[in-house]
Structure 1
Amino acid sequence: MAEKAVPDATRRSQRSHRAILDAAIELVGEMGYAKLTIEAIAARAGVGKQTIYRWWPSKAAVLLDAFVALGEQAAREAGGDGAGGEETYEIPDTGDLEADLKLVVRATVDELNAPEYDAPLRALAAESVINAEVGAEFVRRVLEPQLQLYVKRLRAAQDAGQVDPAIDPRIALELIVGPLAHRWLLRTLPLSHEYGDAVVAMVLRGITVR
C-alpha cells in the first residue's frame, strides 16, 4: 500500500511568507500606504489575516520586511550578499574616488526613481516620522548598512591620501546623500544622473586634498 505524501509545512509556510511580502509591495504601489490594510494584503496573498498577524504586528512591519526582501533580491541579482541586512554592495575602489562615488550615486538615483522602490520607501519614510519603533528599524535595516558603505570608501580614500584626514566621513557622506533625499522627497526638481554627478563633484572639491 503506497504511503501518502506528507505535506511540507515548512515549504508551504515559506510560500505564504513570500506571497505576503510580494502582496505588500504590489499593493502599496497600487493604492498607497494610507489605504493599505492587512485584509487587502491577506486577500492578495491568498492567506488568512491571522496568518499575517502571526508573523507581523502591523502593516508597517510587513512593508518593512517586504522592502528589505526587495533589496536582498536586487543584491542577489547583482551578485551581492544581501542576507540579514548585511552589506549588500561594495562601493568600488578603482583609485578614482569621484568616478566611484558617481557610479553608486547614479545607481541610487535610478533606485529612487524606480516605481517599485519609490512607493514603499515613501511609505516607510512617512511612517518612521510618527512611529519611533518603525523608524529605528528602518534606519538599522535599510539606511545604515548603505551609509556605512560610503564611510568605508571615504576612509579608504583618506588612507590613500586623497581626502583630508580631518574630514568626518559620516558628515561627508551626508553632504552627498542629503541633497538626493531632499529632491526625491519634495519632488520639486528632477532627480537625475547629472544632478548626482554635480553633487559628488561639489562635495569632493571641499573634502579632497589639494
Structure 2
Amino acid sequence: MRYNIIFATHNEGKVKEVKMILNDKKFAVKSLKEANINQEVVEDGKTFEENAIKKAKEFMETTGTIVMADDSGLEIDYLNKKPGVYSARYGGEDTPYHIKNQMILEELKGIPEDKRTARFVSVIATAFPNGDILTTRGTIEGIIGFEAKGNGGFGYDPIFYVPELERTTAEMTLEQKNAISHRGKALEKMKEKLFDYLK
C-alpha cells in the first residue's frame, strides 16, 4: 500500500530535501502547493516540538490525510541560542535571508572562532487522521563563519560552517547536505518510525 503524505511547508528547498529522503515506493509526498492548500498556521510555540506538532495537526485536520511538518532553526550559543524558534522571523518575517545572515555576522563581529559554536535543529512531526502523532529530532553542530559562502541550500546555510568538512552547508551538494543535516537526520529517524508504525 502507498501512503500519501503532505509535507506542510511553502519552502520549496525543504520539499526537495524531503522528497529525496522519503524516496520510497511506500510514500507519495506532496507539498502544500502541490496539494493546492493555501492555509497558514501561526507558529506561536515556545519549542521546535510545539510548532511542528501544531502545524502537522492543523493541516491534518484540514485535509484528513497524513501530514508531516517540521520546525527548524539555528541556535547560536554566544547569542543565548538565538534566533532559535524565531529563526524564520529573525529581523522581520519578510527580511531576506542574505540580510538576516549579515545581521548575525555583525552581531558576532570580533568574536573568536571558539565562541561561535552553533547548531541547526530540526523537529519533524507526523500527524495521522486517528489522532496519533510521531516526532523526531535531528541536529548538526558547527560554527558561524566569518563571512557568507556558497550558493547552495537556503536560509542560514551560507554562514553555517562545518569544520569536519571545511565548508558551509551552502557549499555542499544536496546529497552531502542530506547525509549530515539536521533535517536529514530527523527525516531518516521519521522514515524508520513510519515503517514501524505503518507495518
Superposition TM-score, scaled by structure 2 size: 0.28
Greater helix percent: which structure?
Answer: 1
Which structure: larger Rg?
1
Greater strand percent: which structure?
Answer: 2
Superposition TM-score, scaled by structure 1 size: 0.27
